[in-house]
Structure 1
């Protein structure tokens, strides 16, 4: 007879690690919430990419496509980092919606400047979230997690900068 209790199933996914149980639990949970936010930002970036309009369409459309690809590229790394330390991660769109802190935008129409400003603010919020996860991982001496987060912070800061500069009004 196979044991299918939640504890048994969870132990089947517990990747060996030298991190303490509390570290695995806390860091994996923080990474999973980060992953939900990253997917939310990815979808919003693609939404605005698809619905961009106006005289700067081509430049904004291409910039958001590049940013969306960069954001999406981090999703697998975030999820796999949670698994590498013995945790689990997202399982569904519903799971994302329960954890995400970045807000969706389902508006029928958003002006290009509002799109850029909203994405700028979301990327800035993501930087703050990344710093929190970095601090948590650092408190548990999880150097591998802090190291990759530093790269993601730099990427999100660059996106924030580009969105800020692209949304500045001409003088």
Structure 2
């Protein structure tokens, strides 16, 4: 039975996208996954540690955001797998791939909001940077995923920025 599993894993992928293009797209999606997971962790941390007069509002808002991010990491990782590549899944890999810095200590509620705005904008930029490869390869499923992620992160950044006005 093990031989069958090995044979299945070496089955060529023929989805109308070249190996080279699938690799480029998977690499971009891996960076998106790392950014998304890092933002998830940061948002969850802030959910646990926020204090101040806006505690209840921010605690609930951050919870909704980290729950959405938790679902997103699964969708992104599954797309990488569908393209035929392993999805990164360790803190070490995420730290190498992510453009989002970890928070030092426990920032003020206002600083948490600022950092989350920056994080959502960073994820948007990562998704946007990956889009040309998906477009050039006519990889509509990956393009759709990226478009959805950009819409969500742009809207979330706007909502968080509104709290700082």
1:38 paired residue number? 36
Structure 1 counterpart SS, 2:52: coil
TM-score (norm 2): 0.90
Contact between 2:47 and 2:58, CA under 8 Å: does it hold in 1? yes
In the comparison of the two structures, how many residue pairs are matched? 161
Q: Does 1:93 align with 2:116?
A: no
Structure with bigger helix share is 2
* Structure 2: gaps spanning 5 or more residues: none
Aligned partners of 2:48 and 2:108: how far apart in 1?
A: 13
Q: Does 1:157 align with 2:154?
A: yes
Aligned partners of 1:129 and 1:45: how far apart in 2?
A: 18
Contact between 2:26 and 2:85, CA under 8 Å: does it hold in 1? yes
Following TM superposition, where does structure 1 have runs of at least 4 consecutive aligned residues deviating by more than 3 angstroms? Answer: 11-16
* Structure 1: gaps spanning 5 or more residues: none
Change (3 A) 1:86 1:106: same
Q: Does 1:146 align with 2:130?
A: no
TM-score (norm 1): 0.87
Aligned partners of 1:41 and 1:70: how far apart in 2?
A: 11
